[in-house]
């Protein structure tokens, strides 16, 4: 009888242990689900569902974008750009950013060797007059997102301007390296950096020679100027629509900036703003602690001022953009026996004129 009772108690204890195990597993599943929910639900509320792996992130109330990954290739930008310029005087003027956003929405922001063909196909549909972009994208859930995101990146780079007295429509943004000066580069966005603290590289490095003239990519106003222990002598230029912040770092020791440049200065795309060096990685000013002479330039997108500094900053990969801008390098000339360089061909950008007029600033 005792043996039977002991076996019965053994079965009871086993059942209890098994039940406890089931409860533990169930609890873990619930907890995992809750934690996953805490991670996934806000992502879906704030980003929207991922489109083919591409994050589409907006705030929960939808007021501003919180994340952008810019994977548009040089070839895609060049194809869309040519279609825009070639159709400028036509009845149907193709918008290069809309073309890129269309492909981005179809592919989840991923561009490859087939992207140019897709751009040309949608361009033909639009040029035929049988379709509008609104009709072609009405069922594309993320077209508006890509249009706004790509407009934030490229919005100030195309338009009307005056070049050496000639009225021009086209690319009014420039490579950050002056024409005639050699450089090398590769896609180093996201590479690790360790000075100060471990972090990803949120810019694009272009290696060259000390003193190489650095060019303003887009017209804007100088928002930051001076020493930063990470970037050395650096310049921060904000676009007039405030969507883009251009960061130029590691400028030349002792003579980093173009003469007269200061915070608040208005610069026109193509202006010489500084000179390549290898300053930085020091709390002491004017120190060359960077091993390789190069320009670090970065492009930060700002949809809301809360994103300007802190954990919510949006920096995009500028490698393909740098390749695209190679087609527009500003020619410069030496200023006498000085260390200064200046652009050869003057340019008048209406956006700069409008900003000066708004701010009641004198024309330089």
Q: Are 257 and 328 in a shared domain?
A: yes
Q: Are 137 and 238 in a shared domain?
A: no
Residue 166, domain member (yes or no): no
For residue 192, the model assigns a pLDDT of 76
Residue 207, domain member (yes or no): yes
Q: Are 236 and 327 in a shared domain?
A: yes
**Domain containing residue 201: CATH number:** 2.70.70.10
For residue 359, the model assigns a pLDDT of 87
- Contacts of residue 202, defined as CB under 8 A and 6 or more positions apart, other chains included, come to 189, 190, 298, 313, 315
- The position carrying tokens 């420039």 is 174
- The Cα 26–Cα 23 span in angstroms is 5
Two tokens, residue 152: 């934030």
Q: Are 111 and 191 in a shared domain?
A: no
95: phi then psi, degrees, rounded to nearest 5 = -100, 120
Q: Are 82 and 61 in a shared domain?
A: no
Q: What does the DSSP 8-state code read for residue 138?
A: T
Q: Are 91 and 237 in a shared domain?
A: no
Which has the closest alpha carbon to 108: 151, 76, 145? 145
| Residue 245 burial by Cβ neighbours in a 10 Å radius (0-12, 13-18, 19+) | buried
Our count of domains for the chain comes to 3
Two tokens, residue 140: 């594309």
- The Cα 355–Cα 358 span in angstroms is 5
Dihedral Cα 197, 40, 112, 298, nearest 10 deg: -30
Which has the closest alpha carbon to 219: 155, 312, 304, 141? 155
Q: Are 144 and 255 in a shared domain?
A: no
- The Cα 4–Cα 261 span in angstroms is 95
User: Is the pTM above the cut of 0.85?
Assistant: no
What are the pLDDT tens digits along the chain (364 aa)?
Answer: 333 233 334 444 444 454 444 444 444 433 333 333 322 222 222 223 334 444 445 543 558 999 999 999 999 999 999 999 999 999 999 999 999 999 999 999 999 999 999 999 999 999 999 999 999 999 999 999 999 999 999 999 999 999 989 999 999 999 999 999 999 999 888 787 767 677 787 899 999 999 999 999 999 999 999 999 999 999 999 999 999 999 999 999 999 999 999 999 999 999 999 999 999 999 999 999 999 999 999 999 999 999 999 888 999 999 999 999 999 999 999 999 999 999 999 999 999 999 998 887 765 5
Q: Are 207 and 349 in a shared domain?
A: yes
Residue 176, domain member (yes or no): no
For residue 191, the model assigns a pLDDT of 84
Q: Are 258 and 337 in a shared domain?
A: yes
Q: Are 233 and 330 in a shared domain?
A: yes
Last residue of a domain, one of 16, 37, 66: 66
- Contacts of residue 71, defined as CB under 8 A and 6 or more positions apart, other chains included, come to 109, 110, 111, 317, 320
Q: Are 254 and 273 in a shared domain?
A: yes
For 305, the domain range is: 184-359
- The Cα 26–Cα 51 span in angstroms is 32
- Report whether 271 contacts 258 (CB < 8 A): yes
Q: Are 196 and 312 in a shared domain?
A: yes
Which has the closest alpha carbon to 216: 265, 173, 163, 171? 173
């Amino acid at each position: 009888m005792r043996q039977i009772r002991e076996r019965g108690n053994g079965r009871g204890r086993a059942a209890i242990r098994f039940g406890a195990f089931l409860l533990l597993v169930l609890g873990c599943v619930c907890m995992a689900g809750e934690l996953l929910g805490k991670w996934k639900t806000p992502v879906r509320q704030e980003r929207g569902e991922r489109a083919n792996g591409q994050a589409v992130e907006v705030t929960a109330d939808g007021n501003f974008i919180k994340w952008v990954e810019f994977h548009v290739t040089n070839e895609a930008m060049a194809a869309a750009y040519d279609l825009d310029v070639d159709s400028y005087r036509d009845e149907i003027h193709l918008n290069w950013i809309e073309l890129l956003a269309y492909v981005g929405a179809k592919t989840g922001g991923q561009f490859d060797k087939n992207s140019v063909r897709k751009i040309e196909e949608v361009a033909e549909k639009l040029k035929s007059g049988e379709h509008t972009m609104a009709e072609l994208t009405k069922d594309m859930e993320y077209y508006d997102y890509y249009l706004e995101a790509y407009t934030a990146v490229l919005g100030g780079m195309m338009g009307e301007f005056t070049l050496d007295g000639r009225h021009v429509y086209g690319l009014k943004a420039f490579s950050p390296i002056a024409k005639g000066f050699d450089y090398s580069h590769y896609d180093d966005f996201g590479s690790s950096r360790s000075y100060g603290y471990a972090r990803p590289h949120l810019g694009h490095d272009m290696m060259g020679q000390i003193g190489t003239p650095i060019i303003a990519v887009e017209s804007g106003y100088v928002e930051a100027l001076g020493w930063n222990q990470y970037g050395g002598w650096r310049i921060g230029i904000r676009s007039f629509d405030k969507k883009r912040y251009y960061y130029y770092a590691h400028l030349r020791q002792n003579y980093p900036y173009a003469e007269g440049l200061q915070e608040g200065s208005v610069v026109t795309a193509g202006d010489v703003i500084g000179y390549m060096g290898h300053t930085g990685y020091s709390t002491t000013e004017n120190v060359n602690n960077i091993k390789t002479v190069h320009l670090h330039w970065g492009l930060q997108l700002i949809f809301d001022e809360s994103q300007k500094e802190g954990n919510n900053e949006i920096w995009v990969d500028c490698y393909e953009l740098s390749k695209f801008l190679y087609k527009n390098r500003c020619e410069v000339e030496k200023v006498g026996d000085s260390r200064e360089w200046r652009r050869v061909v003057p340019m008048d950008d209406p956006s700069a004129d409008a900003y000066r007029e708004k701010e009641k600033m004198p024309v330089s």
